[in-house]
Structure 1
Amino acid sequence: MTSQTTSRKDHLVIVGNGMAGQRLLEALLAKPGRPKHITVIGEEQAHAYNRILLSPWLAGEMDREALTLRNTDWYHEHGVKLVLGERVETIDRETQRLTTDTGRELTYDRLVLATGSRPTMPPIAGLDANGVLGFRDLDDAQSLIQLTETVASGDPAVVIGGGLLGLEAAEGLRKRGMSVSVVQRSERLMNRQLDTTAAHLLETELIKRGLSIVTGSRLAELTADGDGHVNGCRLEDDRFLPACCVVIAAGITPNSELGQAAGLATRRAIVVDDYLTTSDPAIHALGECCEFQGQTYGLVDPIWHQVDVLAARLAQEDTEGYVDTPTATKLKVSGVSLYAFGPIEASDDHDVLTYHDPQQGDYRRLLLRDNRLEGAVLYGDTTAGPWYFEQSMAERDLGNCRQALLFGPADATPLLAASHDEHDTPAYQEAA
C-alpha cells in the first residue's frame, strides 16, 4: 500500500481518463487561466483512447495503437500528473481528500468526476458464465478479439441489443469469422434513430452480409456447459440460440456510485447544474456520469458542449451555462451511413415527405409542421443531413422549396433565395 499527499494549491483532480476527461484536460491546457496543478486518475491501465474506434479495431480494420489519444510524454510535457490503473474508492468532501484502491491520497481544490458508464446488464440467470461480455471499453474489445482467436470459424455468437454498439460488435465478430445473431427487443433495429423503412433497409443489408437478425424478442436466460462457459441463449418465446460467445450491448448505466457514496445528489446519475457543478460547489461531473435537468448522455456532441462550459468555468472565464440543445445523430453502422434528428415517429399534424431509391439504397424522410422542418431520417446518402439540420434549427419557412426539399440544398436553396428576394424587395421600396 502506498500513500501520497499532494499539497493543495490550485489543484484540480480529474477522475476518469476517458474521452470526456481527456477533452476537458486539453481544453484547459489551452487556456491562460488553467489550474496550476492538474492530476488525472484513470482506472484503466491504458492511456486515454478513442472508444469510438473500438468497433473497427474489433473488426480488424485498424491497429491498437491508432486508438491512443496521447502518450506518457505528452502529459509530462504539459506538466500533468497522470495516474493509471488506480480506482478512486473514497472522497472525503470535508477535507477535500480522495483515496485510491492502492492507498494513494490526494487533496484537491476542484474535483471533476468523469467516470463514464458501463453496459446495462439484464436481470437474468447466467450472466456470470465465461464468454459473456460487454462491449464498452478496451478490455471488452481485447477479450472479444482473443476469444475469436480460440474458436473455430463459423462458431456461433449472439449479440443482445440492436443499437449502434450491438450492430458494430456483431459486424466485428462476423468479420473475424463467427456466425452471429443479433437479438433486439424492439420490432426494429436502432429504433431510437430510425423509422420503420430505414430500419428495414439496414436489416436487409446486414442479413445480406451474413448476420441473423431476431427482432421483437427478449432474452430470458443464458445457459452454460459443465465447465461454466456460455453455450446458448434462451429467449422468452422459448427459442434457443446456441452461442460460444454472448455480447451484452443493451444500453448503458452511468458510473455514479463514487459520487453517491460521497453524498452528492444523484438520481439516475450525478446531478449537476448548468455549470456542471454538483451539490458540492468544489466538485463537478461531466459526460455519461452526470445528469442535467433529468437528462443523461451517451453521444459526444452534448458532452463536448459540456466540456467547453466546464473548461471556461475552471479557467475562471466568463461563460454562459450549459443548455441542452437539439443534436443530430451522425452514425456509421458497418459501412452504412445514417443521419437523424428530431422526432422519429410522425404525429397526426406532421407533413411527411419521403424519397426512396431501392437500387441505390438511399432513403430520406422529412417531418414538417407548418412548412418548418422538425425531423429527418437519412439512410445511405447523408450528405444533405447537416443542411437539413441547419434549416430545422433556424425554424425556416420551407414552403417555397417544398417540392425540391427532398433533393437537398442544390435544388432547394435557389428556391429559398428567390422567396427571400420576393419578400424583401417590397419592404425595401417602401422604406425608401
Structure 2
Amino acid sequence: MDKTSLIVVGNGMAAGRVLEHLLEADRDAYAVTVFNAEPRVNYNRIMLSPVLSGEKTYEDILIHDDAWYAANGVTLVKGEAIVGIDRETKTVRTAGGAVHGYDKLLIATGSNPLIIPLPGKDLPGVVTYRDLDDVEKMMAAASQGGRAVVIGGGLLGLEAAAGLRAQGMEVTVLHLMPTLMERQLDPAAGYLLQKAIEDRGIEVLCKANTHAILGDTTVTGVKLDDGREIACSLVVMAVGIRPNMALAKDAGLAVNRGVLVDDGMRTSDPDIFAVGECVEHRGVCYGLVAPLYESAKVVAAGLTGSEGAYTGSVTATKLKVTGIDLFSAGDFADAKDRQEIVYRAPGVYKRLVLRDNVLIGAVLYGETADGSWFFDLIKSGSDISAMRDTLIFGPAFAGGEPLDPTAAVAALPDDAQICGCNGVCKGTIVSAIGAKGLSSLDDVRAVTKASASCGSCTPLVEKLIVATIGDKYQAAAVEPICKCTDLGHDEVRRMIVAKGLRSIPAVMQELSWKTSCGCAKCRPALNYYLVCEWPGEYEDDSQSRFINERVHANIQKDGTYSVVPRMWGGVTSPAELRAIADVAEKFNIPSVKVTGGQRIDLLGVRKEDLPAVWADLGKAGMISGAAYAKGLRTVKTCVGSEWCRFGTQDSTGLGIKIEKAMWGSWTPAKVKLGVSGCPRNCAEATCKDIGVVCVEAGYEIHFAGAAGLHVRQTEVLTLVPTEEEAMEIILALTQLYREQGRYLERIYKWAKRVGTPSIKAAIVDDPERRRVYADRFRFSQQFSQVDPWAERVKGLEAHEFAPMAEVGFKEAAE
C-alpha cells in the first residue's frame, strides 16, 4: 500500500523541526519529499553570525546532513523552488516545470529580507543578510578590506556588523531610531549595547536616515538625509523581514501579513499546513526560532492525527555577538498599571516589569544567567509577591528574606568591583575600614581612592561603610533629585562633566539610576544639564521637556493653550498686530489679552491648531515668546530717553539688545528681565531676576528679585558706565547661574545658596573671568538659536503632541 504523500515547500529550521517530530511520532506515516530552493541541506540560520565572524564553519552549523535524509527515507530536492500550487489537482510545480502530487502539503517558505527602495539599491555591493549565500558574499567583500555600511541596528544588523569587523573591515551602522534594538531593548539597555558595539571599533550612528546608495557600476558610499556621505565598498541591508507568502497567495489561500493559520497550524485549506516565518497566527508573525519550534510540534501532531493547539508564544531575544550578553522577554513597555524593579552596576542593567504581582517583562544586560528563570516566570504568569523584594537577584534569593540595599552590597563577594575608576574592590574597602578604623567617606576616599575620582560609586561606598560599621557612620544629608536616585543636583552635574556623559541613558546607567528611564522630575533636569554642559554636541530631548515647552504654548485649565508671540522689549508694529488679529479671527481664539510682560496673549487655542497658528505668525516674522520656558521669557522696558522727559538712557534699545542676545537660552528656571530708563523704575526692574536701572552715571545692574509667590527686592550687583559693559555683566551673570543653578531653582534662590559675595567675585571683581563667562554664554547661544521657534513649529510632528507629556509633567509653582 502506497504511503500518504507529504510535500514540504522549504527546508529551513521550522520545517526541519516538523520532520523530526513527525518521524518521532510515526516514521512510516508519510512519503516525504522536501523541496529546497537553496542547493543545501538544512542548517542553523541563527548561527550564520558566528560563520560570518569566522568562529564557525558551514559544517559546524548543519542540522540535518545528507545521511540524515537518507536514513529517514526523506527525499530532499536541492536547488529546486516550488513556483505554483494547484489545490484542485493537489499538485505542486517546480521552477523546472516538474509536477508532483501531494496528499498533504506543508508551506514553510520563510521570509524575505526587506529592501529599502533607495536610489542605488540594485548596485553590486549591496547585499542582504538572510542565508548562507549572503554570508559568502559578505566574506568575499571583507577579504578585500575597506568599509562596510550596515543599514539597520536590530539583531541581524548588529550581528552582521560584528562579523564584518571580525573579518577586518571598518564598519558603520546606520540606525533610524534613537537607540539600537528598540523593539527588544529599552533605552537604558540600548545605551549599554551601543557602547559595547562602539568599544569593538564599530561606528554607530543613530537617528540616521539613508538617502541614497552612491556609485555608478558598484557601491562607493551612502548619503544620509542630513547630507553626510560615508565612503564604503559594501552595503548590508538588515532592516527587517517580510513573510514570504506569495506562493500561498497565488494558490488562493487566505493571507494577511502572512499565511493565515488556525491554532492547528492549518491554512484555509484543511490539507495544507504552514509553519515558520511565512505564517500569521492570531495576528502575529514571529521572526524568532522558539515560536517556530513550538508551532512545529503542533503541525506534526496534526499530520499524525493527534491534534494539538498552538496558542501563541512569549518571545525572548539574545544577541549572538561574542562578549555581549543581553536578554529580553515579554512586554516591557511603560504603562500606568505597571511597576518596575531596576538594578544597575558597572556594565550591568537589569529591569523587571510587573503587573499585579506577575512578571510580564524582563530586560537584562551584562548579567543574563537568570534570563531563563525570569522567562519561565513570564510564561507561567506565577504570582511573585512572596519573592518580590528579592526577585531582581534571581532564583538564589527567591522566597528569601528581603534584601535592603545595604544588605545587597554586603552580600557581594570580596572581589566585586566597587569603584570602577580606580579599580577598588569590596574586600579592599572593608579591610581598610577594619584595619585603620575608618568612619567617614572622606577617610575611605583618602585611604582606598574609592569614589575619589568621578564619584559615581559614592552611594555604593556609603552603603558598604554602613554595612561594615553600622550606625557609627553618619552620611552627609543630600536632598536627591527624585526617587530615581540618591544623588543631588550638584553631584549629578559634577559627574556629567567628570565622566563625560553625553546622553540621558548614559547618565542613568553610569550613575546607577534606580528606574529604567527616570521620571517627570529627573528627566527634564538631566536634559537641561546636558544641554548646558555640551552645547552643540548634545541633542535636546523633546520627550524630556514639559508639554508647554514641547508645543511652544502654555496649557490652560480647560486643556486649550495660550500662545504668546515674542515682542522684542515690548515693542510691536502694525504688521505684527494685524498678524495677531488675523490669527485670532481665523482660529476663533476666544480671548486676546495684554500681559504684564508687555506682550499679547492668545488664550483658548486648540491643541490641533497650534502648528498652523505658529505657521501663520511665522509668516509675519514672529517667533515664540517662550512664555513657558525654563529660559528667558521677557525683557520689560519703559520708553526711556527716546520719549520720556525723565529718561536718562535708551532703556528700550538696551532691552531689545539684551532680549535678542539672550532669547532661546535654556536656564535652570524661568528668567525675567527689566530695564528702567530712570530711577522712577517704570519697568519694575527691581523685582526681576535681572534688572537694569538707568541713571545719569550709567547702568545700575540688579539681580535676585522675585514677584511671584515670593516677593523680593533685587540686590545691586554693580554700576557700569556703558551699555557694552552692562551687556557683558548680564550675559556673564546668566551664564554663571546656568552653570551653578539647580534645575527649577530661581536666581534669587541660587544667590541665597551660593552667596552674593561669590557672585560678585566672579562677575564684578574679576573682569577676565567675567569675559570668559560671557563668551561661554555667546558660544552656547550659537546652538540655542540655530533652531528658531517659528521654523521648528512649522514642522511639528505628531509625537510632539503625545499625551504622555501631559501626565505628571507639572510645572513648578514658579
Question: What TM-score do you get using the length of structure 2 for normalisation?
Answer: 0.48
**Aligned-pair CA distance for 1:33:** 6.7
Change over 3 Å in CA distance of 1:51–1:392 after alignment to 2: closer
Partner residue of 1:402? 388
Q: Secondary structure at the match of 1:233?
A: strand
* Residues 180 and 190 in structure 2, CA contact (< 8 A), matched pair in contact too: yes
Matched, 1:285 2:261: no
CA shift, 1:382, in A, is 0.8
The equivalent of 1:250 in structure 2 is 239
Question: Partner of 1:276 in structure 2?
Answer: 265
The structure richer in helix per residue is 2
- Alignment deviations for residues 349-387 of structure 1 (CA, whole Å, 9 cap, x no partner): 3222111111xx221011122332221100111111222
- Counterpart CA distance in 1 for 2:163 and 2:318 is 20
1:219 equivalent in structure 2: 210
Aligned partner (choices 103, 108, 114) of residue 114 of structure 1: 108
Distance 1:121 1:58 in 2: 21
2-structure distance, mates of 1:295, 1:376: 20
More strand by share: 1
- Is 1:332 the counterpart of 2:317 in the alignment? no
Per the alignment, residue 356 of structure 2 pairs with 370
Change (3 A) 1:110 1:367: same
Structure exhibiting the larger radius of gyration computed from Cα positions: 2
2:170, 2:141 → 1: CA distance? 13
| 1:343 CA displacement | 2.2
SS in 1 for 2:359: strand
- Name the counterpart of 1:420: none
Opposite residue 13 of structure 1, the aligned amino acid is I
Deviation at 1:389, TM superposition (A): 2.5
Which residue of structure 2 lines up, in the alignment, with residue 263 of structure 1?
252
Which residue identity lines up with residue 4 of structure 2 in the other structure? D
Counterpart secondary structure, 2:18? helix
Quote the residue 2:786 is aligned against.
none
1:196 and 2:197 aligned = no
Shift of 1:333: 3.4
Aligned to 1:159: 150
The answer on whether the counterparts of 2:301 and 2:308 sit within 8 Å (CA) in structure 1 is: no
Tell me, what secondary structure is at the counterpart of 2:133?
Answer: helix
Aligned partner of 1:315 in structure 2 is 304
CA displacement, residues 10-42 of structure 1 (integer Å, 9 cap, x when unaligned): 100001011111111111111127533110000
**Offset of residue 332 of structure 1:** 3.4
Summarize deviations over 1:404-427 as a string: whole Å, max 9, x none: 2221111233349xxxxxxxxxxx
Q: Distance in 2 between matches of 1:399 and 1:308?
A: 34
**Partners of 2:282 and 2:379 in 1: how far apart?**
21
What is the match of residue 93 of structure 2?
Answer: 99
Q: How far did 1:199 drift?
A: 0.7
For the pair 1:133 / 2:132, whether they are aligned, the reply is: no
Return closer, same or farther for 1:99/1:393 CA change in 2, 3 Å cut-off.
Answer: closer
Equivalent residue for 1:79, pick from 73, 78, 88: 73
Contact persistence 1:9–1:109 (CA under 8 A)? no
Matched residue, 2:700: none
Would you say 1:296 and 2:285 are equivalent positions?
yes
Contact 1:89 1:100 in 2 (8 A): yes
On the 8 A contact 2:390/2:400 being kept in 1, the answer is no
Matched, 1:11 2:5: yes
Taking a change above 3 Å as real, the CA distance of residues 63 and 391 of structure 1, as seen in their structure-2 partners, is: closer
Q: For 2:109 and 2:378, how far apart are their aligned partners in 1?
A: 34
Q: Is the 8 A contact 1:8 1:109 kept in 2?
A: no
C-alpha contact 1:400 1:415 (8 A) present in aligned 2: no
SS of match in other structure, 2:360: strand
**In 1: Cα distance, 2:333 partner to 2:228 partner:** 30
Are residues 41 and 372 of structure 1, via their aligned partners in 2, closer, same or farther at CA, if it must alter by over 3 Å?
Answer: same
Q: Which runs of 5+ in 2 are unaligned?
A: 403-814
Question: In structure 2, do the counterparts of structure 1 residues 402 and 36 end up closer, same or farther at CA, with 3 Å as the change threshold?
Answer: closer
- Aligned equivalent of 2:141: 147
- Aligned AA (1:229): T
Deviations 1:163-211 (A, max 9, x none): 1110000000001111100011111001011111111011111111100
User: How far apart are residue 392 of structure 1 and its match?
Assistant: 3.1
Instruction: Give distance in 2, aligned partners of 1:238 and 1:20.
Output: 43
Contact 1:164/1:333 (<8 A) preserved? no
Contact conserved, 2:288 with 2:315, CA < 8 A, in 1?
A: no
SS in 1 for 2:148: strand
State how far apart, in whole Å, the 1-side matches of 2:330 and 2:14 are: 25
Q: 2:337 aligns with which of 349, 359, 377?
A: 349
Q: Structure 2 vs 1, CA of residues 276 and 395 (structure 1 numbering), >3 Å: closer, same or farther?
A: closer
Q: How many residue pairs get matched?
A: 402
Contact 2:27/2:72, CA 8 A, preserved across alignment: no
> What SS is found at the alignment partner of 2:43?
coil
Shift of 1:334: 3.8
Q: Structure 2 vs 1, CA of residues 34 and 321 (structure 1 numbering), >3 Å: closer, same or farther? A: farther
What is the alpha-carbon distance in structure 2 between the residues aligned to residue 280 and residue 75 of structure 1? Answer: 28
Identity rate of aligned residues, in percent? Answer: 44
C-alpha displacement at 1:8, in angstroms?
A: 7.8
**How far apart in 1 are the matches of 2:185 and 2:275?**
28
2:90 counterpart of 1:124:
no
CA contact (8 A) 2:364 2:371 kept: yes
Structure 1 residues not aligned, in runs of 5+: 1-6, 417-432
